[in-house]
């Protein structure tokens, strides 16, 4: 059975006391409600300040001790947001620093060092503990730089050496997202093919650099999640983690009043309008000024809605794209599965009728049921 957990980027990750509080008040009761008999895997999230703090042996020991006492393990760490991720404007800053920056490299190394010390879930021979990261950079029209290729190759070399010292099998998992340098199957496969031809690349690194596959992100671009995942696997791109999430969907009956509650100043909500000829027009963010461009049309928005939400008629969710065939393929692959719910605190009130714990429990149970029944 695939390890199933939730991504802790829904909690604060900027300091260890806040992370410990989230573990105690949300994660442990959630584990108990799920009826876990053995260990519960975590999809941890550490910001850069926490990653630095965990360099201190005593600080790391306290976290490890807590996890061991409470039968917690991890499938890996979310290393996408470098800094604060809640309660203030994030937008395109979430991709900074990008993979041109040594700050991103140093932060990611700190996360891997931390991961070597944490209790890890048994993922099986085919899967590695992973650190998820930004899709190289937000696409500002400059393409993938030579520095990015060099930094990714250097990270692969670092991981090969770290594996030699520790015996732990780990992977850097790039996470494609709309409007980024890696945004769909085409740009992702093209990047890996160029990476594998880079002078600094060694074929022995193949399993060390892979992908975090987020179903919302591919659905926003109108890529069928099953076809996209199969395409990536057939192109020999390593898949380290499957993030289960659903995008917001609008149709010709959607009104401005329907979308208004989804406008927020915190996160970036890339928006795609579906044209009559099945082509798409992309917009960088869901804003009030954009509403006249999309009202009366069909499209999708990068806004992670609850998996248990079926829509209102004028608004829907891309969870319908998560077909039984998709779940069977995920189950056969054995990949770690992580639900992604970070937008909870900016949901419209009617989507926050449940507490965070209740919402996580419902989404996890829904996900388990899909896998079980596929």
Give 207-255 as a DSSP string.
GGEEEEEEHHHHHHTT--HHHHHHHHHHTTPPEEEEEE-EEEEE-TT--
- Residue 371 has a CB neighbour count (10 Å cut-off) of 16
Average pLDDT (232-257) is 98
What span, in angstroms and rounded, lies between the C-alpha atoms of 106 and 101? 9
Give the chain's mean pLDDT: 96
Once rounded to an integer, what is the mean pLDDT over residues 263-282? Answer: 96
Least confident span in 111-115, 121-125, 146-150: 121-125
pTM of the entire predicted model: 0.97
pLDDT at 183 over 90: yes
Mean pLDDT computed over 249-274:
97
Which of 300, 290, 299, 306 has its CA nearest to residue 356? 306
Tell me how far CA of residue 5 lies from CA of 104, 159, 245, in angstroms.
Answer: 26, 24, 13
What's the whole-number mean pLDDT along residues 172-196? 98
pLDDT digits (tens, 9 = 90+) for 52-89: 999 999 999 999 999 999 999 999 999 999 999 999 99
Give the strands of the sheet with 280-283, arranged side by side: 280-283, 271-274, 298-305, 246-250, 315-317
User: Region 197-202: what's the mean pLDDT?
Assistant: 98
Asked if 94 contacts 148 with a C-beta cutoff of 8 angstroms, the reply is no
End-to-end Cα spacing for the chain: 12
Quick check: 303 and 264 in contact, CB under 8 A?
Answer: no
pLDDT at 177 over 70: yes
Nearest residue to 348 via CA among 271, 265, 263: 263
Tell me the average pLDDT across 233-246.
Answer: 98
Per-residue pLDDT at 118:
95
Share of the chain above pLDDT 90, in %: 94
pLDDT band at 125 (very low <50, low <70, confident <90, very high): low
Average of pLDDT values for 304-327?
Answer: 96
In whole angstroms, give the CA distance from residue 108 to residue 257.
41
What confidence score (pLDDT) does residue 127 get? 85
| Cβ atoms within 10 Å, residue 152 | 24
**Quick one: pLDDT band at residue 21, thresholds 50, 70, 90?**
very high
Q: What is the pLDDT of residue 163?
A: 95
């Amino acid at each position: 059975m695939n390890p199933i957990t939730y991504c802790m980027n829904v909690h604060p990750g900027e300091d260890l006391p806040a992370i410990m509080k989230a573990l105690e008040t949300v994660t442990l009761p959630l584990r108990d409600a799920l009826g876990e008999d053995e260990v519960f895997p975590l999809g941890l999230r550490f910001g850069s300040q926490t990653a630095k703090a965990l360099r201190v042996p005593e600080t790391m020991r306290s976290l490890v001790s807590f996890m061991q006492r409470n039968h917690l393990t991890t499938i890996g760490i979310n290393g996408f947001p470098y800094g604060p991720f809640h309660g203030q404007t994030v937008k395109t800053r979430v991709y900074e620093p990008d993979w041109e920056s040594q700050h991103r490299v140093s932060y990611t190394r700190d996360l891997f060092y931390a991961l070597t010390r944490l209790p890890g879930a048994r993922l099986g021979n085919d899967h590695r503990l992973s650190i998820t990261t930004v899709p190289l950079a937000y696409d500002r029209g400059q393409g993938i730089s030579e520095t990015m290729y060099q930094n990714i190759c250097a990270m692969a070399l670092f991981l090969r050496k770290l594996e030699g010292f520790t015996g732990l099998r780990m992977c850097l998992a790039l996470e494609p997202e709309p409007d980024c340098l890696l945004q769909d199957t085409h740009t992702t496969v093209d990047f890996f093919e160029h990476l594998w031809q880079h002078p600094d690349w060694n074929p022995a690194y193949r399993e060390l650099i892979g992908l975090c596959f987020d179903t919302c992100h591919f659905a926003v671009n109108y890529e069928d999640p099953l076809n996209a995942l199969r395409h990536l696997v057939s192109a020999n791109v390593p898949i380290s983690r499957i993030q289960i999430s659903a995008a917001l969907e609008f149709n010709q009956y959607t009104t401005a009043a329907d979308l208004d509650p989804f406008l927020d100043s915190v996160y970036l909500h890339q928006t795609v309008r579906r044209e009559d000829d099945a082509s798409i027009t992309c917009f960088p963010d869901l804003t009030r000024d954009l509403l006249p461009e999309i009202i009366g049309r069909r499209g999708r928005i990068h806004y992670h809605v609850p998996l248990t939400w079926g829509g209102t008629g004028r608004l829907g969710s891309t969870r319908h794209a998560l077909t039984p065939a998709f779940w069977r393929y995920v189950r056969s692959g054995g990949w770690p599965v992580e639900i992604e719910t970070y937008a909870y605190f900016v949901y419209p009130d009617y989507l926050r009728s449940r507490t965070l714990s209740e919402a996580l429990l419902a989404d996890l149970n829904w996900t388990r049921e899909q896998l079980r029944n596929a």
